């Protein structure tokens, strides 16, 4: 499975593309395109990859991705509900004649920031949800005005954090992108197995040492640290969405040693699984 350049076509009668996406999962692999992209998750949960960042996503996740920044959203196994989201994509040429205007400078800065990917906080995302829904229904001139209003709000808020590290390379070769896609797919399919360095290196046709250097250079972390972060991301979702015990979730995410599971969860989340569940729980624990 190769990371592909995606050619984006504008919506009919519009100079940019607005899509209300509904499907069982996100079909796109790790990919990039010359357009900027704003994705608002109405309904779905899973893991989001932007550049060399990895994090869970849920309802009201709002992320802006810059031009040519590799990204993908992945749903997780049987826990996943159908996907509903709004995706807005536009070429830099849409604003090209305005970006040197004083009134648009804050939007110009927004576009620059988006080269590392921008995650807006949930409260802010909820506050502009109505504008995003209006954008889906609007036509022609009204759609453009609403879009500019959305950009204005994105550009003037401080309620965000950047996703990809400042050292992330924006110019990965097609071979490197293909390898990363293979790694992501392998993780999704085999994270419950005992993965060895030899297993994953063979999967991308590299020696163990070469693979370690490639992975460290790309993600600024080791493969096994990334693997544990991936498993902890799944565990954190299960702590919120299910009534399985902490021990059961540890086993369900591939940790046979529960002490190690607790240690990794504390390392990547900053609190114990039990404290995380109490802080973010959505459903009541059913006692038997």
The domain limits of the chain are 17-162, 172-220, 222-288
CATH 1.10.10 fits 172-220, yes or no: yes
Domain 222-288, CATH homologous superfamily name and number: Homeodomain-like (1.10.10.60)
**From 19-23, 27-31, 240-244, 283-287, the region with the lowest mean pLDDT:** 283-287
Check: CB of residue 199 under 8 Å from CB of residue 224: no
The residue among 23 and 28 whose pLDDT is bigger is 23
Q: Residue 84 forms beta bridges with which residues? A: 22, 43
How high does pLDDT run on average in the chain? 85
Check: CB of residue 86 under 8 Å from CB of residue 42: yes
Residue 184 pLDDT exceeds 80: yes
pLDDT value of residue 228 = 93
| Mean pLDDT confidence for 190-207 | 93
For 223-288, the DSSP string reads HHHHHHHHHHHHHHHHHHH----HHHHHHHTT-S-HHHHHHHHHHHHSS-HHHHHHHH--SPPPP-
**From 64-73, 173-182, 220-229, 237-246, the region with the lowest mean pLDDT:** 173-182
Residue 9 pLDDT exceeds 90: no
Check: CB of residue 43 under 8 Å from CB of residue 82: yes
**From 38-47, 98-107, 219-228, 262-271, the region with the lowest mean pLDDT:** 98-107
CATH 2.60.120.280 fits 17-162, yes or no: yes
The pLDDT > 90 percentage for the chain reads 50
Q: Does 222-288 match 17-162 at the fold level?
A: no
pLDDT value of residue 167 = 67
> Sign of torsion, CA 25 26 27 30?
negative
pLDDT value of residue 93 = 86
Residue 6 pLDDT exceeds 60: no
For 203-219, the DSSP string reads HTT--HHHHHHHHHHHH
pLDDT value of residue 10 = 52
pLDDT value of residue 169 = 57
pLDDT value of residue 39 = 97
Residue 259 pLDDT exceeds 90: yes
| Mean pLDDT confidence for 169-187 | 78
- Residues 221-230 pLDDT 10s: 899 999 998 8
Residue 170 pLDDT exceeds 90: no
| Mean pLDDT confidence for 181-185 | 86
pLDDT value of residue 188 = 84
**From 135-149, 169-183, 185-199, 264-278, the region with the lowest mean pLDDT:** 169-183
């Amino acid at each position: 499975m190769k990371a592909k350049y995606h050619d984006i076509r504008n919506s009919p009668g519009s100079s940019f593309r607005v899509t209300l996406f509904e499907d069982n999962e996100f079909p796109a692999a790790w990919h990039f395109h010359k357009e900027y992209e704003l994705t608002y998750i109405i309904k779905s949960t899973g893991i989001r990859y932007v550049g060399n960042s990895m994090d869970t996503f849920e309802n009201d996740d709002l992320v802006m991705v810059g031009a040519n920044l590799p990204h993908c959203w992945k749903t997780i196994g049987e826990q996943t509900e159908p996907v509903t989201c709004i995706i807005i994509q536009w070429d830099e040429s849409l604003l090209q004649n305005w970006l040197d205007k004083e009134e648009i400078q804050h939007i110009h800065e927004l576009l620059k920031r988006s080269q590392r990917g921008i995650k807006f906080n949930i409260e802010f995302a909820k506050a502009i949800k109505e504008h995003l829904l209006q954008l889906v229904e609007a036509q022609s001139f009204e759609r453009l005005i609403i879009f500019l209003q959305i950009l204005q709000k994105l550009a003037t808020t401080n309620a965000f954090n950047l996703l990809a590290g400042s050292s992330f390379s924006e110019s990965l070769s097609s071979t490197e992108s293909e390898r990363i896609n293979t790694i992501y797919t392998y993780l999704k399919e085999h994270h419950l197995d005992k993965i060895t360095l030899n297993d994953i290196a063979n999967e991308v046709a590299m020696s163990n040492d070469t693979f370690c250097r490639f992975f460290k250079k790309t993600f600024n972390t080791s493969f096994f640290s990334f693997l544990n972060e991936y498993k902890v991301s799944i565990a954190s979702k299960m702590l919120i969405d299910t009534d399985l015990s902490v021990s059961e979730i540890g086993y369900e995410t591939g940790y046979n040693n529960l002490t190690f599971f607790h240690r990794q969860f504390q390392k990547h989340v900053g609190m114990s699984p039990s404290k995380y569940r109490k802080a973010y729980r959505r459903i009541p624990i059913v006692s038997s």
